[in-house]
Structure formats: C-alpha cells, structure tokens
Amino acid sequence: MIEEGPTIRSDITPTNSLPRRFQLIVCKVLQREAYFCAARSRHVVDVVLMEQGLHNEPDRLRREVQKALARTRDIQGRRYDASLLGYGLCSNGTVGLSAEIPIVIPRGHDCITLLLGSRQRYQEYFDSHRGVYWYSPGWIEAGDQPSRERYEHLLAEYTGKYGADNAQYLMEVEQTWTKEYRWAAFVDWGLIDSETYKAYTKECAAFLGWDYDELRGDPGLMQRFVDGVWNKSEFLVVAPGGRIAEDVTNEGIIRAE
C-alpha cells in the first residue's frame, strides 16, 4: 500500500483542477516502477524512456535529456503542463537543464531515492552500509550489474581482442574496484518476479564475495511525483526558462536559478 505524504501541491496542480498532462522523462531502469505509478495517477502521464547508462557520461545525459525537454506537446499536439524528470543530480548531469514549461525533479543524488521513497532513507542506509551496490529489476534487466555473466562476457571480449594471458591480467585490474564494495542491496517493490530478481542478486553477491541485503521499496515518492503532490522538501519545481543548479551543501541538494 502506498504511504501518502503531506498534501502540499504545487500551484501548477490545484486540487480542484481537471487532470493535467505530464511527460515523465525517466531512465529505462525505472521503466516498471514509472509505468506502475503512472497507471495509478489521476493525471495523464506520458512516460518517456531514456537510454540506461547515461549517468556514466553526465554531459551526454544533459544533452539527451535537454532534447527530451524541448518536446512540450504530446503526440496529439496537446501541451504538457510540466515535464517530470525521473532523475536525481546524477553526477551533475541534470545541472543546467531548462525548458519552456515547468520542470519538476526529485531532490536526490540519483534514482535510488525514487526507489526507496525518500532521500533521508537513502542517506541513512548509505551511512550504515558503507560500500553498497544497488540492485533492482530494472538495473538487472539492463545487464550492467556486477555479476558472473558480466565477468564472463568481458573476459571473452578481452580474450578475443588481446589473447588469453593479457585478458586475464586485464580482468584482474578491472575487478579491483569490486573490493571497494561490501553489499549487494536489492530494492523490492513487490512487482512481478521479484523473487527471481532477489535470487539473482544473491547469486551475484556470492560470486563477488559481498554480503546480500534487501530493502522494501516505497512507491510513495514516485506516486506523489506523478500525482502532482510536490512537497517543496521532496521536489524542486523550476519555472519556465529557469535552470537546475546543484546545491549539495544544503539539504535540498538542487535549486533553481
């Protein structure tokens, strides 16, 4: 059951209004969760999926998302009331983004905040579990999570390019970063096949020598996002023409300028 947050609404979405039209621009790893919440919203929410992995290239993320923000009307030519960004600060990849219509973005460092339901919960877990690597159905489906499959695929690629001896050396260098992590943490929204994804995460943890943990996901933040319930402590609303700026020295993480 979704836990409702404070009923503070942006003036873009008055409580007595007709359903509004939003586009939700979100990384493909949040596909299942985004559609789940969009289907439950009273508003018309068009989900726009972005390529997974853009967070690894912040400048490219900014370029691609800016292109999506340039779209202000749906396929029927009806104007959106706002663009919702299903991203966090994402290594400053969302800094500088602007649009002709309002932008709404969660106050968080990355998308895990949306999966856990609050940046406070994310921070508390991060502080008490140093070296955590996050798993979820979307991240697992993307095929980029640390795993035996990823290791074997990379080994085969290196072997084909550089030969067996060089490939083994490169893999030893490649895997040094895994020693910086201790936890494989699965975020469970209870969606279909979640037990299968949990079992897979456990296998990954065993292969990598990490401890396994699972957390109950909380759809509340994502649901408030698409429902237009934009509490200022959870979301930043950027007016048309304004830009997203980082503000990591303060609790809000991001600000408008």
For residues 91 and 50, membership in a common domain is answered with yes
DSSP 3-state assignment of 23? Answer: strand
DSSP 3-state assignment of 141? Answer: helix
- Give the range of the structural domain holding residue 153, as residue numbers without chain letter: 119-216
For residues 112 and 149, membership in a common domain is answered with no
For residues 65 and 112, membership in a common domain is answered with yes
Note the pLDDT of residue 13. Answer: 45
Q: Burial code of 82-120, b = ≥16 C-beta within 10 A, e = fewer?
A: bbbbbbbbbebbbbebbbebbbbbbbbbbbbbbbbbbbe
With beta carbons less than 8 A apart as the criterion, state whether 65 and 85 touch.
yes
How far apart (Å, rounded) are the C-alpha atoms in residues 112 and 66? 22
For residues 106 and 224, membership in a common domain is answered with yes
For residues 154 and 27, membership in a common domain is answered with no
Mean pLDDT of 127-147: 92
Q: In this model, does residue 5 exceed pLDDT 60?
A: no
Structural domains in the chain (count): 2
Q: What is the pLDDT of residues 52-105, one digit of tens each?
A: 989 889 999 999 999 999 999 999 999 999 999 999 999 999 999 999 999 999
How far apart (Å, rounded) are the C-alpha atoms in residues 6 and 231? 7
pTM over 0.85: yes
With beta carbons less than 8 A apart as the criterion, state whether 41 and 256 touch.
no
